[in-house]
Chains A and B, each alone.
Chain A
Amino acid sequence: MPKDGSLPTSLGRPGRGKPKPVEPSHGPDREPRNGGPARGLNEPAPDAGDKPIGRRAVLTILGLGALGIAFGERVQNGITGLLTPLRSSGLANLLPGGGSFVLYTVTGGYPAPPPDYHLTVDGMVDRPLKLSVADLEALPATRLTRNFQCVTGWVVDDVHWAGVRLTDLARHAGASSRATAFWFTSFDTVYTESLSMEQAEQSGAIVAYSMLGAPVAREHGGPVRLYVPGMFGYKSIKWLSGITLTDQLQLGYWELNGYPVNAWIAGHPPSSFRHPPQIRDPQ
């Protein structure tokens, strides 16, 4: 059989290990060529006796994928650490976890602020406020340089933030001593968030009008957004338009969509934060 060049070793075909059942051929019974299995059109290729490596490779990939989903968060954190020194090159920014923002929105797009944009502060306060960006900028500013970490696994290091501390703003509005929580609304009309008074104090959350060294860009939630240091990014509501002081913490948009009410990033919950205040589900 000169044409069959498959390697003449003991490893060759007819079915090493368990022999494959040979399909009956369509033709008349005749002696199969070169002792191999008879071949009909439906039968496997002539190398059918060889190793099913393709299937093993597929199963291995599936297993790795499952491991990746279960433990990927930790691996990604390690990779992000490795990429940090490369970040200034710009190249690392293209890699997953390489320190770029993913710009989420909970509506169809990035909403434009209304022309007469104002931030309202109301609820359990003596002096409800209606503040333009300029009004906010005139208040005592707080500047921070902190990570922004998303619950989905990406993190951006050393983001510059500037704004007014949330607790300062509450004081400025004359918050009642009975107010125990903040309720935030967005001019995208969908996104909502909340913080307890305690969380606001412990995190040092700010109402930010500057981010990355510039006014907060529209896709980052400008002109004004919240930034809550030490908590996952979904707490830092974008396109902030309303702050209401209440005596009961409510669940915001992402908590209602399954995200933890306790949004502290591992290592961040200050030791004093042990008993989250009572939650009232707005539904």
Chain B
Amino acid sequence: MTADGGERTGLLARFDRVERAVHWTNAGLFAVLVLTGAALYLTPLIALVGRRELVERIHLYAGIALPVPLILALSGSWGQALRRDIRRFNRWSQADRRWLRVMFQEQPRRSRSRAQLRTGKFNAGQKLNAAFTAGGGLVMLASGLLLRWYRPFPLDWRAGATFVHNWLALAFVVVITGHVLMALADRDALKAMLFGRISRSWARRHAPAWLDELDEQAVDEAEELAAAATGPSSRPGSGAAD
């Protein structure tokens, strides 16, 4: 269903509609959080923007809203591709561990070594980024809620939550800036997040194991189709005929 078109057009389905919707909703909310956060935190901006209560409220609601797209996407059958990619993020192959080691090599050697790695759909850097975003996002949410509703808790938790929230926000700004710069440096990858598809040549260079996986899958599906054509009664409801 997804990989077959690739053979004809040279494009592979990388992110489905749900994944892209979650990504860009999160990106928008993150932008709101950074802008309002800066207006709450950076002294010159605080006075410039004023209206602290309003800015605080926008920041709070945007923060609470941040996990909602992901939860919605995961709460139904439409989240299949997303769930699958999350499983990919979780699992680290030996190629991923090797990828991290390769990053510490000197440049000419690094490119050569990286080209030999059998990286899957996501490389170790993307997996690290996913883990940081998931874990860090939850910590931001928890510390943010604690800053807003601090009364049931010991007061030094509020200072601790301020500490965690501020420094982690800074880390997020650095990491997401890197994320954006890398997307701008690789327009194909950026287009895949915009339109969902990516070229075979990109996959061959950056995600060879994923390309193989898709090809195998396409072969499987073709075999299934062929089997369905010869003995349709043996598999009820396969729906493969259309």
With an 8 A cutoff between CB atoms, is B80 at the interface? yes
From B8-16, B26-34, B63-71, B88-96, the one touching the partner chain is: B88-96
With an 8 A cutoff between CB atoms, is A50 at the interface? yes
With an 8 A cutoff between CB atoms, is A57 at the interface? yes
> How would residues 44 to 55 of chain A score, 1 for a CB under 8 Å from any chain B CB and 0 otherwise?
111111111111
With an 8 Å Cβ cutoff, the count of chain A residues facing the other chain is 69
Which residues does chain B contribute within 8 Å of A50, judged by CB atoms?
91-94, 96
With an 8 A cutoff between CB atoms, is B52 at the interface? yes
From B101-109, B134-142, B175-183, the one touching the partner chain is: B134-142
Q: A45-B121, A151-B158, A153-B159 are in contact. Are A6 and B95 (CB under 8 A)?
A: yes
Q: A6-B93, A52-B90 are in contact. Are A65 and B120 (CB under 8 A)?
A: no
The majority secondary structure among interface residues of chain B is helix
Of the candidates B84, B93, B139, B150, which one forms a contact with A47 in the assembled complex, judged by CB atoms under 8 Å apart? B93
* Cβ A153 vs Cβ B212 within 8 A: no
Q: Please, how many angstroms separate the alpha-carbon atoms of A140 and B227 in the complex?
A: 99
From A99-107, A131-139, A157-165, the one touching the partner chain is: A99-107
Which residues does chain A contribute within 8 Å of B18, judged by CB atoms?
none
* Total number of residue pairs linking A and B with CB closer than 8 Å: 211
With an 8 A cutoff between CB atoms, is A172 at the interface? no
Which residues does chain B contribute within 8 Å of A217, judged by CB atoms?
47
Q: Please, how many angstroms separate the alpha-carbon atoms of A76 and B166 in the complex?
A: 10
* Cβ A108 vs Cβ B53 within 8 A: yes
With an 8 A cutoff between CB atoms, is B241 at the interface? no
Q: Which of A4, A69, A94, A97 has the most CB of B within 10 A?
A: A69
- Seen from chain B, the residues whose Cβ lies within 8 Å of a Cβ on chain A are 1, 40-43, 46-47, 50-54, 80, 84, 87-96, 118, 120-121, 127-128, 130-132, 134-136, 138-139, 142-143, 146-147, 150-151, 155-164, 166-168, 170, 208-210, 212-213, 215-217, 220, 223-224, 227, 234-235, 238
Q: List 29 A-B contacts (CB under 8 A).
A: A7-B93, A26-B224, A27-B235, A28-B227, A39-B220, A41-B1, A41-B217, A45-B87, A46-B120, A48-B91, A49-B91, A50-B94, A53-B90, A54-B89, A54-B90, A58-B134, A61-B135, A61-B136, A65-B136, A76-B159, A97-B163, A103-B52, A105-B53, A107-B53, A108-B53, A108-B54, A109-B53, A152-B147, A219-B50
